[in-house]
C-alpha cells in the first residue's frame, strides 16, 4: 500500500516529467518549432486552449500564441513575465483539394451556392482572421460565404486534413500550414490579413534562463530562417 502511494506521488510530482524546457505553442507552429531543437518539450494546441491551460497552472516555460488576443489575455491574467515579442508573421491562404472538386479558382467562387467551405471556430485565431478576410471583401460576401460553411473546425490542422482528404471544397488556413497535399489559392493582398505571433516567457518558469534563450534563438537570424523555411514571414515585416 505504501509503495502504491509512493508511486502515485511520484507520478504527480513535477520531477517525474522529464526536466526539460516546456514550450506551449500554437498548433500552426508545430512544423517550424520541432526543428528548433530536440532538447525542448512541446505542447501544441489552439492558442486559446494553451492560455486556459496556463491559467490552470500547467507547468510551462514559454508561451507562443498565434494572435495578440490570447497573449494579451495571458498578460492581463498575470501568466507571463516581461513584455511579449512578435517573432513571426503569417498570411492566410485558401486551400482546396488537389482535384478542386468545387471549382474554386478565385476568391469570389467561395460564395457560389453549394461550395463546401471549412473555417475555424470564431474564437480560434484562424477563425477570426478568416472572418476578417471575408468582411474586408464585403459584408454581403462574408454573409454568403459563411452560409456555405459546412463545419467550424477547432484547429487549423483539422481543416488541412479534411481538405487534403477531399471532404470539403475550400478552407481558410495559414500559408505555413498549406502542405503539398493541398492546392493553394492565394488571397489578394488588399483583403488578406497578417497574423502576428507573439512569444513570452511564462511567469515563474521553472527554466527561465533556457526559456529566454529559446526566445532569443527564435529572433536570431538562424531562428528566423527556420520560420521562413516553414512559410512564415519574418518578425520584422514592414507590411501592416
Partner 1 sequence: MIRAAAVGAGVLLLLLLGIPIASLILRVPAASLATRMADPAIQEALRLSLVTTLISTLLIVLIGTPVAYVLATRDFPGKRVVETLIDLPMVLPPTVAGLALLLAFGRMGIAGKILGFGLPFTTLAVIVAQVFMAAPFFIAPARAGFAALDRRLLDAAATLRASEGYAFARVVLPLTLPSLTAGAAMACARALGEFGATITFAGNLPGVTQTMPLAVYVAFQSDLEAAIVLSVLLMILSFGLLLGLRAATGRMGPASSLAAPIAR
Q: Which is nearer to partner 1, 124 or 202 (CB)?
A: 124
Q: For partner 1, which is the closer residue by CB, 5 or 15?
A: 5
Measured from the CB atom, the residue of 179 and 212 that comes closer to partner 1 is 179
Nearest distance from C-beta of residue 128 to partner 1, angstroms:
11
Nearer to partner 1, 81 or 150 (CB): 150
* Closest separation in Å from C-beta 51 to partner 1: 9
Contacting residues toward partner 1, per CB under 8 A: 46, 48-49, 52, 101, 116, 121-124, 149-154, 158, 162, 165-168
CB of residue 10 to partner 1, shortest distance in Å: 18
- Output the smallest distance, CB 28 to partner 1, in A: 16
Q: How far is the CB of 21 from partner 1 (least distance, A)?
A: 26
Give the phi and the psi of residue 168 in degrees, each rounded to 5: -130, 165
Length in residues, the chain: 240
User: Quick one: 52 or 58, whose CB is closer to partner 1?
Assistant: 52
Long-range contacts of 26-30 (CB under 8 A, 24+ apart): 26/50, 26/64, 26/65, 26/66, 26/125, 26/197, 27/66, 27/155, 27/156, 27/157, 28/66, 28/90, 28/126, 28/156, 28/157, 28/174, 28/176, 28/177, 29/64, 29/66, 29/88, 29/197, 30/157
Cα separation of 44 and 25, whole Å? 5
How far, in Å, CA of 238 to CA of 164, rounded? 33
Between 122 and 209, name the residue whose CB sits nearer to partner 1: 122
With a CB cutoff of 8 Å and minimum separation 6, the contacts of 208 are 61, 81, 201
Q: How far is the CB of 154 from partner 1 (least distance, A)?
A: 7
Amino acid at each position: 500500500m505504501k509503495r502504491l502511494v509512493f508511486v502515485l506521488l511520484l507520478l504527480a510530482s513535477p520531477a517525474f516529467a522529464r526536466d526539460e524546457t516546456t514550450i506551449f505553442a500554437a498548433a500552426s507552429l508545430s512544423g517550424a518549432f520541432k526543428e528548433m531543437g530536440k532538447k525542448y518539450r512541446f505542447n501544441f494546441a489552439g492558442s486559446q486552449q494553451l492560455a486556459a491551460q496556463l491559467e490552470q497552472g500547467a507547468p510551462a516555460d514559454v508561451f507562443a500564441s498565434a494572435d495578440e488576443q490570447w497573449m494579451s489575455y495571458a498578460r492581463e491574467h498575470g501568466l507571463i513575465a516581461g513584455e511579449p515579442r512578435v517573432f513571426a508573421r503569417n498570411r492566410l491562404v485558401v486551400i482546396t483539394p488537389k482535384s478542386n472538386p468545387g471549382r474554386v479558382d478565385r476568391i469570389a467562387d467561395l460564395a457560389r451556392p453549394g461550395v463546401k467551405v471549412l473555417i475555424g471556430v470564431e474564437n480560434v485565431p484562424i477563425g477570426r482572421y478568416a472572418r476578417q478576410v471575408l468582411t474586408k471583401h464585403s459584408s454581403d460576401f462574408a454573409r454568403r460565404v459563411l452560409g456555405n460553411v459546412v463545419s467550424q473546425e477547432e484547429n487549423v490542422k483539422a481543416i488541412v486534413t479534411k481538405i487534403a482528404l477531399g471532404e470539403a471544397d475550400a478552407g481558410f488556413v495559414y500559408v505555413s500550414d498549406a502542405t503539398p497535399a493541398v492546392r493553394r489559392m492565394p488571397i489578394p493582398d488588399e483583403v488578406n490579413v497578417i497574423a502576428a505571433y507573439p512569444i513570452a516567457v511564462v511567469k515563474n518558469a521553472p527554466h527561465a534562463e533556457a526559456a529566454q534563450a529559446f526566445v532569443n534563438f527564435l529572433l536570431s537570424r538562424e531562428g528566423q530562417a527556420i520560420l521562413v523555411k516553414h512559410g512564415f514571414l519574418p518578425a520584422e515585416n514592414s507590411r501592416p
